[in-house]
Structure 1
Amino acid sequence: MKKIIFYDIPGKTEDGKAWSPNTWNVRFALNMKGLKYRTEWVEYPDIEAACKQIEAPASDVKSDGVTPHYTLPVIQDPNTGRVIADSIAIVDYLDATYPNTGPPLFPAGTRVLQAAFRDAFASTCSRVLAPVIALATCTHLNPRSYEYFKRTREEVMGKLEEVAPEGTEKGEAKWKELEEGLTTVAKWFEAGGDTLFVGGDAPIYADILLAGRLFWARNVLGKDSKAWARIRAMDGGRWEKFLTEWEKWSQVV
């Protein structure tokens, strides 16, 4: 089997280059399935050109509703000649194309519930995590990506230094929203008998979504930072325990 080419955005975190939550979703899937791949690192300003070069489809449209928007992750599979964009489409492709390698991430009968989890998680937790760690993310990028990330995020969020400033009432309010969001997610697990994974004994794609966001936070905040310690301590240490289970699938190839 030829190696799949996996396109990711480089950063400068403690553990290496990998940081992006959406690309972590695909890295986890590739590692869980034991598929051979290599990472091609692409800075933010070069993503569109790189996608067009390999004929990757746009994953969305820009704010004008017309112009194609090219994003990562993308994979290029030389074994089938396929180029796939968007983490959900990629994981779906891996499940369908390589059903005998690793666990299914969209097991039969779970798609409706996983879609519901994805939407609920996005509105409950993902939306309140980004403001808390946006500035830290920005400062962990290489210069060209730093400029792009900061400019595009500030178009939506305002000046990043003012979104959740440390030690201020505004910053603490953002942290409170994050804590409440994670506690809501923790209660979902408690309702299932306090299971560690959404998938029960084995993780599924819904679990990958959660792991990708937590890895993002830990990697850009720093494992030994006070900010990560706050997240680690939430909900009785549940998230630290959850991430420990993902270390075996966290290698960056």
Structure 2
Amino acid sequence: MSRHHSSRSSYSTTPVIILYDTPGHSPQPWAPNVWRIRFILNYKRLRYRTQWVEFQNIEATLRSIKAPPSSVHSDGRPVYTLPIVVDPTRNPSRPEILSNPSNIAEYLETYYPARPVFPEGSRSLQSLFVHYIQEIFAKPLLPIMVPLSAHGLPERSQPPFYHSHISNPLPPGPQRELAWLSVKEQFDFLSSILDKNSLDGDGVCAMGHSVTYADFALCSVLLWIENMAPHDGWARVREWNGGRWIRLRDKCRDYMDVF
């Protein structure tokens, strides 16, 4: 899938952007919110490196670098999640430290405008599309994918993950099939919307012909399924809607490097 590179080791003495991610059971990154940012960095051809943080060390690590919380609990407690981006390239003495994938995407587009992921006039509509992907489209996946993601973490990282997330994968059988049916309903609906682009686009990309931020957000979910549920999940999804989702994944293939 992704291609891991060491060719950027020559930049070790030159400040580069740092992308914080958490490892899974395989060399392939899995976290969809982090993939969303990695796609942008690769698309914009920005120099960066990945800083791997074990799941149980995320909050302590982010506090240690004074990263802002990604959100706040209803009781006022800060929430620390990945991705985090540290950018020392613009001001090495005071690097920018950013949390929340939407904030990071806005920052990268503002300060590195070459090869835009928000074509002119599309920022608000794409932001709405990404909100839909995260808050509605992906919701039926959570009962399936969150437990699988827990099992996909290194064993040393699993206990705290279980304490804060769903701990038991759905067993094979009617309950699991009903869950996948709910997922397919969302894919079918989104496919019917993207079909409207077939009149003046390729029917795959959200903005017509070229990949943008919206496509990266959607493809990040596809990679999550492919990495954590390759046989039960991705084997289904890649066949849905006339192969639309494998075509989108192929459109994004050139931006799947992991540095």
TM-score (norm 1): 0.89
The one-letter amino acid of 1:66's match is G
**Alpha-carbon offset, residue 90 of structure 1:** 1.0
For structure 1, the residue ranges without an aligned partner over 5 or more in a row are: none
Give the corresponding residue for 2:258. 252
For structure 2, the residue ranges without an aligned partner over 5 or more in a row are: 1-13
| Greater Cα offset, 76-85 or 24-33 | 76-85
Q: Aligned equivalents of 1:71 and 1:123: distance in 2? A: 17
Aligned residues: 239
Aligned-partner SS, 2:98: strand
Q: Aligned equivalents of 2:131 and 2:34: distance in 1? A: 18
Aligned-partner SS, 2:76: coil
Give the corresponding residue for 2:42. 31
Are positions 1:228 and 2:222 aligned together? no
**Alpha-carbon offset, residue 245 of structure 1:** 1.5
Are positions 1:109 and 2:117 aligned together? no
Aligned-partner SS, 1:192: helix
Give the corresponding residue for 2:24. 11
Give the corresponding residue for 2:87. 77
2:62 is matched with which residue: 45, 51, 55?
51
Aligned-partner SS, 1:160: coil
Are positions 1:205 and 2:213 aligned together? yes
The one-letter amino acid of 1:18's match is P
Aligned-partner SS, 1:174: helix
Identity %: 33
**Alpha-carbon offset, residue 3 of structure 1:** 1.3
**Alpha-carbon offset, residue 123 of structure 1:** 4.3
**Alpha-carbon offset, residue 195 of structure 1:** 2.0
Are positions 1:189 and 2:203 aligned together? no
CA RMSD of aligned residues (A): 1.6
2:162 is matched with which residue: 150, 157, 180?
150
TM-score (norm 2): 0.87
Give the corresponding residue for 2:181. 176
Q: Deviations over 1:129-179 (max 9, x none)?
A: 22222222111101232222222112xxxx423xx321x211111010011
**Alpha-carbon offset, residue 17 of structure 1:** 4.1
CA gap of 1:229–1:117, structure 2 versus 1, over 3 A, is: same
CA gap of 1:52–1:73, structure 2 versus 1, over 3 A, is: same
Q: Aligned equivalents of 1:121 and 1:26: distance in 2? A: 15
